Structure 1
Amino acid sequence: MGRILAIDYGKKRTGIAVTDPMKIIASGLCTVATYDLNKWLEEYIVSEDVETIVIGEPKQMDYTDSELGGVINAFAKALQVKYPNIKIERMDERFTSKMAFQTMIDSGLNKKQRRNKALVDEIAATIILQSYMDRIR
């Protein structure tokens, strides 16, 4: 059984989350510098059985693409070409960074820990993944 991998793509950093092999639990995995993302994905996909990649889809409140929308669309299309046996899905990511920050507060992280933007990105990817899992159930 393959895992589901979620990507919260950003200009500088990309948050990554993944399910367990049984696709029951969504967990934050890491944050990768965006310029290293393709290399990281190649290595990960070779070592793990990935069935689906869910990419956050940044939209404005009026559902138009955000600033990074075109870049992320091109990234998603390139992944589909490079990995034709992996399903590429998109998931609305509006408010995930705010939800991630609130999750950090609710978890009791102190102010210094909440400034860790890499952790925010990883949690946002986990929220995207959990939302996707909820949608497909």
Structure 2
Amino acid sequence: MGSIIAIDYGEKRTGLAHTDPNKIIATGLCTLATEEVVTFLKDHAQKNEVDVFVVGYPQQKDGTPSAIEESILLFISKLRNQLPNINIERYSERFTTKIAKQTLGQIKLKKKDRNKKGLLDEISATLILQSYLTYQSR
């Protein structure tokens, strides 16, 4: 039984989160430079069983795709090409960055550590994954 990996894609940085093998708990994995993500995931999937990639689907308030969607579709194409045996699903990432910022504000971190964007991306990926898990359990 493999894990699920959530991907909060960004032009510069991409946050990753993963589940435990029982697919119950979502935890942050890391934040990488976006150009390193496919290589990292390929290596990770060779060492660990991965069942599904959940890629965040950013939407504007009116429900239309965000401007970054075209880049995400190219990324998904590369990921599918490198790891064709792993399913890729999309899940809404609406408000995850806002919630992640609020979460960071509640954690007892120094202000300079709260402003580290990598941590924000990782938390956003974790929120996407936890929301996806909740939806799947219904």
| Residue 79 of structure 1, CA deviation | 2.4
Superposition pairs for residues 36-55 of structure 1, below 5 Å? 36-55=36-55
- Match for 1:82: what amino acid? Q
Deviates more, 1:28-37 or 1:65-74: 65-74
Aligned twin of 2:35: 35
Contact 2:16 2:28 in 1 (8 A): yes
Deviation of the 1:112 alpha carbon: 1.2
Q: Which residue of 2 aligns with 1:99?
A: 99
Q: CA deviation at 1:84?
A: 2.8
Alignment check: 8 A CA contact 2:38 2:78 kept: no
Q: Deviation at 1:55?
A: 0.3
Name the SS for the 1:67 alignment partner.
coil
- For each residue in 1:31-82, what CA deviation from the matched residue of structure 2 results, as whole angstroms up to 9, or x when unmatched? 0100111111111111110000000011111111111101102222332343
Q: How many residues align?
A: 137
Which aligned segments of 4 or more residues in structure 1 are displaced greater than 3 angstroms?
none
Question: Deviation at 1:19?
Answer: 0.4
Q: Which residue of 2 aligns with 1:19?
A: 19
**What is the 5 A alignment of 1:115-130?**
115-130=115-130
TM value normalised by structure 2: 0.94
Displacement of 1:108 in angstroms is 2.1
SS of equivalent to 1:61: coil
Matched, 1:67 2:67: yes
Q: Would the aligned equivalents of 2:42 and 2:83 in 1 still touch at CA under 8 Å?
A: no
Instruction: Please report the RMSD computed on the Cα atoms of aligned residues, expressed in angstroms.
Output: 1.1
Q: Distance in 1 between matches of 2:8 and 2:59?
A: 13
Aligned position for 2:77 = 77
Which ranges of structure 1 fall in alignment gaps of 5 or more residues?
none
